[in-house]
Each structure stands twice: as structure tokens, then as C-alpha cells.
Structure 1
Amino acid sequence: MSAPDRIEEFVLALQTGFIDGSIIKLRLGGYHGAEADLKSVEGRKVALKAGERMSLVWSYKTRDITKNLIIDEALSFVRDGLSTSFRSGRLETRDFDLQIERQGDKFRLKRTEVSGREVATGGHDRVKNRPLEAGAKPWMQALGIAGADGKVLAASQDKFRQINKMVEIFAPLIHELSAKTPRIVDMGAGKGYLDFALFDYLQGKGVPAKVIGVEMRPKLVDDGNKLAAQSGFAALQFVPGSILDYDASGADAVIALHACDTATDDAIFKGISSGAELIAVAPCCHKQVRRQMEAGTSDGRLDFLLRHGTFMEKQAEMVTDGLRALLLEASGYRTKVFEFVSDTHTPKNNLIVAQKGKAGSREAALKKVADVKAMFGIERHYLEGLLGLA
């Protein structure tokens, strides 16, 4: 991951912790900017009459200055600060610590799971928001995540951790959508792990979202709809059909978790063509571009990498997803790619998040696409064809 991606993952964790109420403390250290005598900045979430804020304290040699910022201002400050003025950052939450450190031009990001912490209230009493938790819920039991006692099964710990992480990431992104009742479409829903988890979480937070799972296999569609009804999730629906055949008009968010090879591109295309504000995909398999890289003529300077099968596979994954990000930027989306869960739990752990607006130059993005294709001997990326660009 690049330095900007690691910074963005840290900022996203801060945003998520602010929204779900799990923040304990934020600290930025190793200051080397222009402000004389500034040592560090520490922050916590507070509830004021004007609303929830991040209370940041600038600690100087002889004084402290406190500012209460809205979350967008705080996120911008942290993002800019880590990029330019601070060498380290630490975020402590109820469930984990996240440490980011600059090493030359690179950043190292380390996450440590914790348990047993309590979050102090930062102002008036309020209902404490909690992340998705296990329990005697019909959908968790039916999908084999929890047993009859409501506890997560030993064999499902990784699955539960993965979907919980996805919910943590999606929650603040969905919170930013302009629609009061966001319409979220999951392409290639499968058994609906993510759909049930996300709907359960949003319903618990009072977000009146509609979640639709698109799935080719009729039995999984029937099973999903029966389980949604059994769970009391009236606004969660599963529909039969392929990704490309589904009419995604009116979708505010299009997501796809581990849609294989070009199915990920189908999901991205449907998100772009529907004008969705949010597109988020966790790719799986990268065969289409890899075949072209193996058959084509790449820049000779890459031979030392591409002649090894294991390196070719990794390069194909990065090139495929890098081109997807560029094509999203060319379509008017600002994008970021990062690991959403440790590769200890799944090797397919990259997430592409695209938000409509504030994108860079379309021409610059398309030129970069052409340059990358020439470098790696690629004739055409499948998504290019869907978008009418090749």
C-alpha cells in the first residue's frame, strides 16, 4: 500500500470510530512543521449542545489550545497533518489500536485488537452506539455464524470478523449519502452475509436503508428472502438475475464482495451507469488481465518480475485493480484502494472505494490507463469495453 492509502485507512478508521462511538483517544506526534514549540495534538469525541465534535488539543511547550471541530474538519486536519507535519499517529478505540508511523517516504500501519475497554461519555448522556455484535439472531444462526446460545462459532470467527469489518467501513460511507432512505445494491450477494449484517447494523442505528441482494442462484434468493422475513427485515430483499441484467437505476450505493474476475467490473459498470454516489468492491480473481499480460509484450524492464509465476499473479492483481481505480476516476469518482481485513483471514482483502465527485482530470486518468496498458502488454481491460472506452 502507498503512503496516501495508509493515511486514508487511518483517517477512515477515525471516521468510523467517530460515527459508531468507539473512539477513546487520538494522538498525532513527531511534529516537524512550522509552528514553534508544538509537540503533539490529542483528540477525543465530545457531545456539545451544537452537536458531536472532535475535541483536539494542540500541546505546546508552555500552553495548550483546544478546538472543537466537526468531523469533516477533523478528518481533513488529520489527513493533511500526517501527509506533511506529523511522523506518527495513534488511534485508540474500544476494539483496537491503530498505529501509523512514517519511515522515510513510507508509512507503516499496525493494528492491534483489544478487549474489555469502555468508552467514556464525552458530554451529555446518550445511547451508546455499538458495532455489530453476535447474539441469538435468526440470520446469524441460519448462516452458521452463531450457535443456539448466540455465541460466534469457533469455525466462523474469521467470517464474523470480516463482515464486521466491512460494516465498520461501509457505515460512515453510507452515512455520507445524500438520500434519506439510501438504496444499497449488493451485486452477487451469495448467501447474503454482508446484506444481513449491514441491514441489521443500519436498522439498529435508525438508518431507514433499503438493501437489495442480486444473486443468480434461485435457491439462495428464496432462502435469503425467507430469512429476511423471519428476521423482521422488511426492507431487505433478494432478487434473481445476473449483475449485468439487473436494472440498478436509483441505486445510491453499489457494492460487491468477492465477485469473481470480470463480475467485479460488471458491478462497477452498473454503479457508474446508475449514477450511484458510492461504489465499493472487494475483487476476487484477476484472470482477464493476467491472460493478456502473459500473452502480450510488456516493457522489458519488467521481465525480472513477470517471468516468475507468483510475481505475475501479484502484479496482475495490482494492475487490474489499479486500472479499475483509474477508470473510476475517469468516470467522475474519487477512489482509494486499501486492505479491509488482514490477509490472515482472507488473501482477497483489497477494497476499492469510489465516491462520486471531486475526481481528477478525466483526460489524465485515461492517458494513465493507456500508459499502463502499454507497459504491461495489455490490449484491453474488460471494464473499458463496458464503458465504451475500447
Structure 2
Amino acid sequence: MDNYAAFFDKIRTSIQQQEFIKISLGDYNGTELYLKNVYIKPVIIKREKKLSFVFRYKTQDITKNFELQTGIMEIQGLLKVEGFRVATLFTETENLICQCTKKGVWSLKKENPTAKKPVVFTHDKQKERKLDSADKVYLQALKLTDATGNVYKNAQDKWRQINHYIEILSSILQRLSAKDTLNVVDMGAGKGYLTFALYDYLVYTLRKRVSLVGVEYRKDLVELCNQIAAKSDFKDLLFIQGAIEDYEPHDDLDILIALHACDTATDDAIAKGIKHDADLIVVAPCCHKQIRREIEKNKTKNELDFLLKHGIFMERQAEMVTDGIRALIMEYFGYQTKVFQFVSDAHTPKNVLVVGEKKSINIRRQEEILAKIASTKAYFGITYHHLERLMELDKTIL
């Protein structure tokens, strides 16, 4: 057995015998910009042992978790393909260093153990939840919990998403000005998971008086959600059928929500929030097709065109440009914006949550924003942004 194979045999043995502590990869000679090291350790996620990889770059760390066998294959790829030339395995009994010489030969060196095994490996943190699951009729009706409030195993991801959503918004919601009644609209409410949770938190945790409308295009979901609201005795929660672009609130809004509204439907929702003077606008955009089509159609030459020839990079760039301009337009109208990563459920990719909190309009800042939007459009070959047209900024930006 050669040294390289012996090293990986030792990794598998140390894992089986529960002596494995961690692995570090160094002396990187690959092509990925700013990558310096990779650190691997065992973790337990949802009662299953996995390998957690921390990819250390010059300015950030990126964590990825793999099944054990997949993780070992990933290490092999990082050494043989990606360009790491030193790997150190830390176990309870020894340190084992596997190093590639200038001639491409792998050597092994043993040293005395230097790492101590942690007491626990779990990543499953027991967090204090903003919502509890006990005695919630809507959670039972949506098949997230049983009658005693225990979350079903197949609903854990959705329950985690719901709590992450409320956790992100909690501090902002508590800052909202005191009013007799908060007018809230949730555009594209779907099956109502997050709509019900928001109503629950506002009314029963923050003790606010709320009038919440969920707008949903699918009639069957509207009927289902209204039945669940009635069973839950959520008297001021109403679901209505309609499209986002067609819905017109009767009064000014305090909170506008639009999660996973596809493509320009997110722009329709933001525009309604701005025009109805919403204190808080929260959107989780998806399917950024409009700007992607603009970039692909015009194929403007710039410093990033080497990236944009790849479909997946084009998709990511279109997402960032679309949402970046959305945030700028919200700032133009006096909103302070923040962007968060929104935890996915099992069926929805991770995406961002764009939150705009109404502050005040700054004329000088408006001029800067118009100039930034204009230069961004020119750089990427964008003729228009849908939200820009809805707010008639295309007539202002020359």
C-alpha cells in the first residue's frame, strides 16, 4: 500500500474507532482565488455523523457538510485534483502528516498527538424559539405537529424556516410605532405557513392589534387557509384570491410581505408597499428572469464577461443585480435596507430576504442612487428594471 492510500485507510480506521479529531489541508497550489486552507471535523447533524468542511479564504469562511464517505472522497479530490499538497490527520493517538513532494510523491510522517477530542460534535443547537409549537391549531392543521405539539420529523425543515423568519423580523417588528391596528398584507401567501406564524407572533407574543390579509392566486389554498384561520380563532386574518399586481389595499400599509413571488411579481409587491407608505417591506425574491434576459440579450463587454459566459454564474449575477437595484430603489424612497440569507425548507433553495424599514428621504442620497442605477444598467447592458418602471424612475434616470 502506498503512502497516499495508507493515509486514507488511517482516516477511515480512526473514524470507525472513534479516534478521529480533525484534518487540516494546507500548502495550496490550486487555481481558486484566495483559498488558503480547509479544516475538516466530525459533526452530528440530525443524529447523523457527518464531516464538516470549513473552506478558509482570504476574506471569508465557507462551511459545507458531507456524508462520511462523500466527505472522504472530497478530501481526495482536494489533494489530488484541487491542489492541496499537505494534509494532517489529528487523532487521539497520533498526528499523521501526508505531504506531496516536488516530484509528486506522497510521504507520511507520524508525530505525537497534539489535539484534544471535543466533548460533543453536535451542530444541532437547542435555540430559544420565538414561537412554540404547543397548542397551535394551525400547526396541526398544516400537518407540522401532532396534537401534543411535537413537530413531525418530515416537518423539521419547515419549522426551522418559520422560526428563522420570525427571528429575523422580531427586532424590527418590536420597533414599529404604536398604532391602534397594524395593517399587514402578505402577497403570495401560498399555504400560509409563514402568514399564520406572523399573525401568531404579532398578536399573541407582541400583543399587537393586527389586520392581516393574505393574497393568494390559487382558490383552493385560499379556501383552506380561511378554514384554518377560523379553526384557530384568528379573527383578524383573512385570505383573499387574487394576483399581486391586481390587489389594492384599502388603506396605507404598515407591513408588506412577499415571499417567493416569482420574477417581477416581487417588483409589483415592493411598488405597492412604497406607494402605500408601508413602514416595513419584506421580500424573498426568486426567479430573476427579467434582468437575466436583459443581460443575455445585450451581452455588454465588461470585466465580468468571462464569468457571465457560464450559465450558473449568469444566474447568480442576475440575482444579485436584480436585488441590488431593488434595494437601491427602496433606499431612494427613504427605506433603510438589509439583506439576509433566508433559511430554506426541504423544497426551496436558499435565497435572500430583503428587508426595508421606512426612515426618511435624503435628496442628496437620491441623486447618488440615480447615478448608481444608471451606471449599473450601462455596465451590464440593462435597458430597464421592472421596479424602476413601476416607480417611474426610468423617466428620471437618463
User: For this structure pair, what is the TM-score category when the shorter chain's length is used for normalisation?
Assistant: 0.5 to 0.7
Q: Which residue of 1 aligns with 2:125?
A: 114
- Structure 1, residues 306-353: CA drift from partner, whole Å, max 9, x if none? 001111011011111001001111122111112132698842420101
Question: Letter of the aligned partner of 2:342 in structure 1?
Answer: F
Percent of pairs with identical residues: 52
Q: Is the 8 A contact 1:334 1:359 kept in 2?
A: no
Q: Which residue of 2 aligns with 1:298?
A: 300
2:269 pairs with 267, 272, 276, which one?
267
1:173 equivalent in alignment to 2:177: no
Separation in 1, partners of 2:391, 2:132: 40
SS in structure 2 at match of 1:247: coil
Q: Would the alpha carbon gap of residues 153 and 247 (structure 1) be closer, same or farther in structure 2, given more than 3 Å must change?
A: same
Q: Which residue of 2 aligns with 1:155?
A: 154
SS in structure 2 at match of 1:147: coil
Q: Is the 8 A contact 2:158 2:345 kept in 1?
A: no
Separation in 1, partners of 2:347, 2:360: 33
Q: Give the TM-score, by structure 2 length.
A: 0.65
Q: Would the alpha carbon gap of residues 333 and 308 (structure 1) be closer, same or farther in structure 2, given more than 3 Å must change?
A: same
Separation in 2, partners of 1:166, 1:317: 21
Q: Is the 8 A contact 2:262 2:286 kept in 1?
A: yes
Separation in 2, partners of 1:371, 1:343: 36
Instruction: Return 311-320 or 151-160, whichever deviates more.
Output: 151-160
- Structure 1, residues 14-46: CA drift from partner, whole Å, max 9, x if none? xxxxxxxxxxxxxxxxxxxxxxxxxxxxxxxxx
1:191 equivalent in alignment to 2:191: yes
Q: Which residue of 2 aligns with 1:329?
A: 331
Separation in 1, partners of 2:338, 2:347: 21
Q: Would the alpha carbon gap of residues 215 and 311 (structure 1) be closer, same or farther in structure 2, given more than 3 Å must change?
A: same
Separation in 1, partners of 2:361, 2:295: 28
Q: Is the 8 A contact 1:136 1:146 kept in 2?
A: no
Higher alpha-carbon Rg? 2
Separation in 1, partners of 2:202, 2:340: 23
Separation in 2, partners of 1:104, 1:330: 34
Q: Which residue of 2 aligns with 1:25?
A: none
Q: Which residue of 2 aligns with 1:366?
A: 370
Question: Letter of the aligned partner of 2:240 in structure 1?
Answer: V
1:225 equivalent in alignment to 2:236: no
**Structure 1: gaps of 5 or more residues:** 1-102, 118-129
SS in structure 2 at match of 1:239: strand
**Structure 2: gaps of 5 or more residues:** 1-55, 64-122
Q: Is the 8 A contact 2:135 2:148 kept in 1?
A: yes
Separation in 2, partners of 1:343, 1:215: 20
Question: Letter of the aligned partner of 2:283 in structure 1?
Answer: V
SS in structure 2 at match of 1:300: coil
Q: Is the 8 A contact 2:334 2:358 kept in 1?
A: yes
Instruction: Report the number of matched residues.
Output: 276
Cα-Cα RMSD:
2.4
Separation in 1, partners of 2:203, 2:174: 13
Which structure's relative contact order is higher, taking Cα pairs within 8 Å and 6+ residues apart?
Answer: 1
SS in structure 2 at match of 1:169: helix
1:250 pairs with 249, 252, 272, which one?
252
Instruction: Return 174-183 or 306-315, whichever deviates more.
Output: 174-183
Q: Would the alpha carbon gap of residues 344 and 364 (structure 1) be closer, same or farther in structure 2, given more than 3 Å must change?
A: farther
Q: Which residue of 2 aligns with 1:280?
A: 282
Separation in 1, partners of 2:154, 2:231: 24
Q: Give the TM-score, by structure 1 length.
A: 0.66
Question: Letter of the aligned partner of 1:371 in structure 2?
Answer: S
- Structure 1, residues 265-315: CA drift from partner, whole Å, max 9, x if none? 111001001000110101111011101111113233211110011110110
